[in-house]
Structure 1
Amino acid sequence: MAMGFLGFALFLFISLDLDLDQGSTSSASAASSSSTSQNVEITYGTVLKLMHEKTKFRLHSHDVPYGSGSGQQSVTGFPNVDDSNSYWIVRPEPDTSAKQGDTIPSGTIIRLQHMRTRKWLHSHLHASPISGNLEVSCFGGEPESDTGDYWRLIIEGSGKTWKQDQKIRLQHVDTGGYLHSHDKKYARIAGGQQEVCGVREKCADNVWLAAEGVYLPITESK
């Protein structure tokens, strides 16, 4: 099972279009692929799953629109570990000097790009379908991104840069809402999957951890 996951992860790494810095590429053999590694730095270009700390569901999206609110691509919490629609690429804010392999300090604005559909994790003032909080969706595409895709990384505790074993919050820049999930589940199209939404209060339900993924090594300065 472990070897199978490693092989799949390396395939993902090789096949991805990680275009942050074409002049700075890393070999697949140098990437870390693990769900249990300690103190692994998360860098731009890393492909990962985000695990909701309280329920252990993974942040997930798929090519299914919301039936209410914005009608944009839905985002949910998914119960199973082995699902390829739960992979996200960690990207920087546009027009910055950040490049693939750079570490990510607490307080940095990042974007998360859904690997399968290439859309961006997004939020706005539409109401979420179940709880009526802020809707979280996927929107845009490779050349289309706006401030609704910006999330501020907040590391819990004393950590200065994002590592795999650290609890984090993601605060949406435009609305102030924290990326949030809970035990409220969909009954129909996404049956068994949890609602993901935004809430403006800090609480235990908006803490996340980096889980399975292909973690790119830090790019050494020349």
Structure 2
Amino acid sequence: MDLLIWIGLFWITALHRTEAADSEVTCGSAIKLLNSRYDVRLSSPDATYGSGSGQRTVTGNPNQLESGANWQVKGNATSFCPRGRSVSCGQVIRLENLGTGKNLHSHNYRSPLSGGLEVSIYGQDGVGDTGDHWQVMCNTEFWLQEQKVMFRHVDTKTYLEATGHEYSDPHVERHVEIAGTLTTGPRSMWRTAEGVFIKPGDPPIPAAHQPKSTLNSSHVDPP
């Protein structure tokens, strides 16, 4: 009887874990990230910084259907994360922009509007450097879908933030500046608004690389 009870408890636990996994963000998933303070999604429009690194910009885009807002979750450069594995809170990941094959990136260049640290996309075919590493900050065991989380940049110790400053360049008009800052709060909190969440055995999500551009987004208005 004790053995039957143990087997029953095992299957109940396994079933509960499987159901819980359905709500977790997993490696290989393609997601859109919505800011908690502003109604914008993390995006990389077809524009480059006119100062600082000159790399392709990352903005908060008010357009829900923007294709540049699709990001694939993957492990960091030194720790492979198998497709379908749940992302733990505290885990260091990379976010690859599916339209360009470049990773969400930051460094010590100053952002043009707020004076925080510039956030860009960097690399080629998903390969970059340690500036692409972000730690998922949350208070559960795993990163849950639609849970508010923060992303802490490993190299600079700053948080991914929508600053509230809007660009005036017509190519990125109404887009909000994204920067690395030392403050935490609603501006630095994000949740998965939409996504294709991968489970083990699911086929890969194709990346549609888009052509590069050298648009200048350095002309700005104060908020």
Instruction: Report the TM-score, using the length of structure 1 for normalisation.
Output: 0.77
Match of 2:173 in 1: 191
Partner of 1:59: 42
Q: Which of 160, 184, 190 in structure 2 is aligned with 1:202?
A: 184
Q: State the 4+ residue runs in structure 1 displaced beyond 3 angstroms.
A: none
Offset of residue 187 of structure 1: 0.6
- Give identity over the alignment, percent: 37
Which residue matches 1:11?
A: none
Q: Residue in 2 aligned with 1:144?
A: 127
Q: Deviations over 1:110-140 (max 9, x none)?
A: 0000000110100000000111110000011
SS of 2:68's equivalent in the other structure is: helix
Structure 1: runs of 5+ lacking an equivalent: 1-37
Secondary structure of the residue aligned to 1:183 is strand
- Matched-pair contact (CA < 8 Å) for 1:77–1:193: yes
The CA deviation at 1:162 is 0.7
Matched, 1:173 2:125: no
Q: Residue 178 of structure 1 contacts residue 202 of structure 1 at CA under 8 Å; is this kept in 2?
A: yes
Which whole-Å CA distance do the structure 2 matches of 1:199 and 1:97 have between them? 28
Query: How many Å apart are 1:41 and its aligned residue?
Result: 1.1
Match of 1:65, SS state, is coil
Task: Tell me if the contact between 1:54 and 1:205 (Cα under 8 Å) persists in the aligned partners.
Answer: yes
Task: Find the structure with the greater CA-based Rg.
Answer: 2
CA distance in 2: counterparts of 1:97 and 1:126, whole angstroms: 29
Aligned residue-pair number: 181
CA contact (8 A) 2:44 2:58 kept: yes
- Paired residue secondary structure (1:64): coil
* Structure 1 SS opposite 2:78: coil
* Closer/same/farther in 2, CA of residues 143 and 57 from structure 1, 3 Å limit: closer
Instruction: Name the TM-score, length of structure 2 as normaliser.
Output: 0.77
Specify every segment of 5 or more residues in structure 2 that has no aligned partner in the other structure, as ranges. Answer: 1-20, 203-223
Separation of aligned partners in 2, 1:191 and 1:56: 15
CA separation in 2, counterparts of 1:50 and 1:214? 12
